[in-house]
Structure 1
Amino acid sequence: MGWFSRDPLQIIAFQTYGTSRNLYIKGRALEDEDIDLSKKNIFHLVVNSWKRFKTDVVGNAKLELTLSNGFKHEFKTDKEGYFLVRLQLEGQPPECNEEGWLIYELSYADVELERKIQLENRFPGKMLVPSLKSNYGVISDIDDTILHTGIVSLLKWRVIYNTLFKTPGKRLPFAGAADFYHLLHRGPTGKAANPIFYVSNSPWNLYRYLEFFLKNNNFPKGPILLRSLSSFFKKNKVVNGESLSHKPHEILNILDMYPELSFILIGDSGERDADIYLDIAQRFPDRIKAIYLRSVAHKKRMFRVKSLFSDYKTVPVLLVENSDEAVIHARENGFIR
């Protein structure tokens, strides 16, 4: 657990989502390894990569959540330092900012642990509460959808190289992707605040890395939903008797959280996005407005994806080579201004 090392403690609150009455807050308590994502030389790249995966967690720790309206709630982390708080609120709900973000604070509630905190025992967090006036929501993959990853490379060597030996400041988004997402965020009037959800199979160890990448490349802020490193070796979650991997589980959770909201799904043709999105669209045909899949340079996978949708006509599905093609389709269908 690393409690006896010199590193101070921290609480990382992941950007999540909920409603004015339903809190859905995730995060992790661990030691602060002092990772500086702005450093670019090879030594710091290797050190930072090692620190991201060598985590000294604070398991079974007592934490406290505080909302802006004074509401407080105590809870504990699990043995890996993770926590998930799901609560239904009563009374006057806390206020959100103009973009729909509910601001809260986390702190250590254990006196013994407080002694290891060198700074103030207050760690900020944000939870998105989409406006009831939203036109739709967007659920997007990250790897090879908005971020050049190399997921279809031989033995995933490009994924390993890009993750370990490139800073997020050096990683390149696909051309026009950020502009397209801002158009979707603002909707057909250009004045909306449609929610964007980023769902990836990457581990939570890369949360700060991906958060920095999205902000540095001017993508709309949105919940970033990853999975624990240990889940790579566990069986899939079972929901209503059905075994679900991380991504469909998160998508179904989002749809369940906002039953009145329709969605646009964005992914790529390299991995399993096509299969997952097709299944979601078949189960919720009235709630999926469109599916955009970025084409990848892999003939067999592209052939398989095209075959998958060859007889499917219920929801518009577009395989795009670039963001401009998606913009044209979205504008023609009234999704954007």
Structure 2
Amino acid sequence: MKHFFVFRWFSSPFRYAFAKLKKKLGKLDRLKLEIFLVIGNGRKVFVKGRVVEAYRQSRPSDKKTALQNLLATLRRYAGSSVPDATILLAYGSHQAELITDSEGLFEKMLRFSDAERQAVQKIRFSLVPEQGLVPETGWVERSVHWIRKPYPRAVISDIDDTVIISKATNIGEKLWLSVSKNAYTRRPFPGVSEFYQLLTANGEYPVFYVSSSDWNLFDLIRDFLSYRNIPLGPILLKDGHINLKNIWKSGGGNHAHKLEKIQFLMEFFPEQRVLLIGDSGQHDPELYAEIIRRFPDRVEAVYIRKVRQGDAAREHNLNQLLPPNKVAWVKTTREALLHAQKHLVV
């Protein structure tokens, strides 16, 4: 399998060369170290983050105007990713060096001895200073999100048009929502908090969010989930760098990366049964069908929110892969909630 954390060197050679030139000339602004994932399965820890030019961002508020939110979006997407930066990791008695790829991303699978598995609770990250690189901060510390045992279920959920109203099938509406709203003014589908609290036993069971949104939206999605009382969990987004010139592509394009990321989660937590939630607007039904084929008896149920007129063939193909009442095609989250209460052990 080609894991989702394999570096993607084929993206924008011009942007990569330009960022390297800025670095060599010492023209990069102060740099920001962003940590996205620090998850462990009891034996290993996977870390992922990136280095970008730092930008000053105000806290979101439900009082912000569309213009203020637009300016915040411009700041979020204006910075350049930083390739070939050196990151130092410290964990337990070990240290490791990572080099950012052409998207400014870095990732690594850390392995521990039996004695260290219980002791290591935090990972420390630092951007190594060099000519042309000025770190915004020193060491950044993150707690490991340990999931050491299988739970009765884990939820793997899409985000756009599944949790958050995004209008992903309409580029104009999607772009306007993206640039004019913030984490406090974006709207969830009615009942999402109650539904996800039910499925996760009020946050006791793990939940993972896998989306085609880009990493620039990581903080917005995290803050949105927290503000709307939707159970928090690791967020896995699309690696391709989005900037002001191609912001309209955010959330679009090829969705194969979602299959890679879900497969990674299935392999990283090999004894865990999962429940999949998505929508029919893009390719979730086909991606989830493939996961069921690759991991027989590991998928408890699937919920698909119907975005537009149903496609009988798509529904039939997915319905054949699980027992009756384990695939639900719903128009509202309320329908999904009622179905779960009736057909799932919660």
The answer, yes or no, to whether TM exceeds 0.5 is: yes
> Displacement, 1:167?
1.4
SS of residue in 2 equivalent to 1:92: helix
CA deviations on 1:231-287 (whole Å, 9 max, x unpaired) are 979x97xxxxxxx81011111111111111110000011111011111212332310
What amino acid is the match of 1:140? Answer: S
1:105 aligns with 2:120: no
Cα distance in 2, alignment partners of residues 18 and 118 from structure 1: 27
Identical pairs, percent:
28
Paired residue for 1:254? 265
Cα distance in 1, alignment partners of residues 57 and 67 from structure 2: 13
Structure 1 gaps of 5+ residues are 237-243
> Displacement, 1:31?
1.9
Paired residue for 2:55? 33
Paired residue for 2:336? 326
Check conservation: 2:46, 2:107, Cα contact below 8 A.
yes
SS of residue in 1 equivalent to 2:277: strand
Check conservation: 1:141, 1:266, Cα contact below 8 A.
yes
Cα distance in 1, alignment partners of residues 136 and 73 from structure 2: 24
Aligned length: 313
1:87 aligns with 2:110: yes
Paired residue for 1:57? 81
Counterpart selection for 2:135 from 93, 100, 117: 117
Structure 1 pair 131–30 and aligned structure 2 pair: CA distance change class (3 A): same
Structure 2 gaps of 5+ residues are 1-18, 243-248
TM-score (norm 1): 0.83
1:173 aligns with 2:188: yes
> Displacement, 1:181?
1.3
| Residues 1-337 of structure 1 aligned to structure 2 (within 5 Å) | 1=19, 3=23, 4-5=26-27, 7-38=29-60, 40-67=64-91, 69-95=92-118, 102-110=121-129, 112=131, 116-119=134-137, 121-153=138-170, 156-186=171-201, 193-230=204-241, 245-296=256-307, 298-299=308-309, 301-309=310-318, 311-314=320-323, 316-336=326-346
> Displacement, 1:23?
1.8
> Displacement, 1:164?
1.2
Moved over 6 A (4+): none
TM-score (norm 2): 0.81
> Displacement, 1:329?
2.7
Q: Indicate the RMSD between aligned Cα atoms, in angstroms.
A: 2.8
Cα distance in 2, alignment partners of residues 263 and 16 from structure 1: 20
Cα distance in 1, alignment partners of residues 85 and 330 from structure 2: 47
What amino acid is the match of 1:212? Answer: D
Structure 1 pair 270–126 and aligned structure 2 pair: CA distance change class (3 A): farther
> Displacement, 1:87?
2.4
Check conservation: 2:81, 2:241, Cα contact below 8 A.
no
What amino acid is the match of 1:51? Answer: R
Check conservation: 1:58, 1:81, Cα contact below 8 A.
yes
> Displacement, 1:32?
1.4
